[in-house]
Amino acid sequence: MTQPPRLSRFDFPPGFLFGAATAAYQIEGAGFGGCGPCHWDTFAATPGNVVRAEDGARACDHYHQWPADLDLLRAANMDAYRFSTSWARVMPNGVTVNPEGLDFYDRLVDGMLARGLKPFQTLYHWELPSPLADQGGWTNRDTAARFADFAQFITERLGDRVASIATINEPWCVAWLSHFIGAHAPGQRDIRATARAMHHILLAHGMAVERLRGMGQPNLGIVLNFDYAQPATDSAQDQQAAARWDGIFNRWFIEGITRQSYPEIVLEGLGPHMPQNWQDDMPLIGQKLDWLGVNYYTRHLHAHNAAAPWPHLADVPGPLAKTQMGWEIYPDGLQHFLTRMARDYVGDLPIYVTENGMANADELSGGAVTDAVREEFLFAHLGATRRAIAEGANVQGFFYWSLLDNYEWAEGYEKRFGLVHVDFDSLARTPKSSYHALARALARND
């Protein structure tokens, strides 16, 4: 990468928020505090699904070490913390409240406020309680109604203190990656299950927003992930393949919410498998957002593959430098999605970069971690965010993924995204050079 300019908080509009993000299952330790089993526990216990069959039972032990972790955010001069509240911890069977779980999140939110951090809460970051998975999970319409109940209970406890609430994190991963590709829990590869999950996850969002709006809860949004789709060649077939992927990944969820419709290019494949009378749910799904979260990591090149079933496409390796995940580093994609969301979908609605980061094979040496490549990545994407603001996108914050090295789902503990290195044996935390670079960039003059 070309060395990007080292921006600071003063290169962004007044009030722009900087923070880092995490997710409950990835850092807390699901073996503590009365947390119930979730479908990730069983997915990880099934041979071949997760690297070394690792799970989130201990993770980073954030459940016990949260005060020190919040101190790391404060010491880095951050303004906000994006965290998630585990459904399986709050309601181990998906229905009945666990007081220990609520008490933990009480302490956590109060700890953020005591350190001057704005709590940005995500209700669902993938830990579906196993009893609900037993009933079909996201293929079952009833799961959406149970999610609205969860949203109500946790918000009755925390809603007076959080700065914002996101309903769902990355519905594409919840639905497509998990039910069509099968790479995440529950590991299905079934187009009928996919069609239902693609719809029901948005129905859950709509039901939760309706419930929380009825409670008078402000600042409700959703976090969508986006993948820059380009054709591998200029051929009409490759362009169609890229357009189809753009429809599946980038258009389905935002258009369901903002246009109360799904892209025809995707319904060509999913339409025959959709739930009966799905169109009747679109007004509920399409309730107004207060803000939109944009997660962005990479781009992919797509080629037409006539031999493959729908969606008839194949990924083609790209020429750019790649992260430890094998993802191309393409900051212009972030600028593209921020401006595209503002132009085509949400207008002047506040937008937050809710996740952006990279995995790198970081090593601890002499008590320190030097990750210059992550520094370059971070500042390049901050630059892309600033360009989007200059083009008129109402971007109001940037959350790096992630504060800590953590449980990276099917990759186990092998892929490191953190600003802070975690030794998964001792659980020692060591801020990396990228952490220190960001702390300097966010320093205030007061």
List 292's β-bridge partners, or say none. 222, 351
Q: Which residues contact 394 (CB under 8 A, 6 or more apart)?
A: 342, 348, 349, 350, 351
Say which of 54, 127, 328, 355 is annotated catalytic: 355
Q: How far apart are CA 255 and CA 25, in angstroms?
A: 29
Q: Which residues contact 289 (CB under 8 A, 6 or more apart)?
A: 209, 220, 221, 222, 257, 258, 346, 349
CA neighbor of 210 nearest in space, from 202, 295, 83: 202
Q: Is 100 designated active site?
A: no
Amino acid in the structure at residue 90? V
List 286's β-bridge partners, or say none. none
Say which of 28, 54, 170, 411 is annotated catalytic: 170
Determine contact, residues 257/210, Cβ cutoff 8 Å. Answer: no
Residue 156: in which H helix or E strand, if any? helix 142-158
Determine contact, residues 30/38, Cβ cutoff 8 Å. Answer: yes
Query: In angstroms, how far is the first alpha carbon of the chain from the final one?
Result: 34
Determine contact, residues 299/228, Cβ cutoff 8 Å. Answer: yes
Residue 250 tokens read as 């980038």
Q: Is 264 designated active site?
A: no
Residue 27 tokens read as 């850092």
Determine contact, residues 55/47, Cβ cutoff 8 Å. Answer: no
Residue 164 tokens read as 């914002």
Vertex 25: Cα angle to 23 and 30 (nearest 5): 145
Determine contact, residues 248/320, Cβ cutoff 8 Å. Answer: no
- Taking the CB of residue 356, how many other CB atoms lie within 10 A of it? 22
In order of 7, 177, 219, the CA distances from 190 in angstroms are 46, 11, 35
Amino acid in the structure at residue 413? Y
Residue 176 tokens read as 């497509």
Residues annotated as catalytic are 170, 355
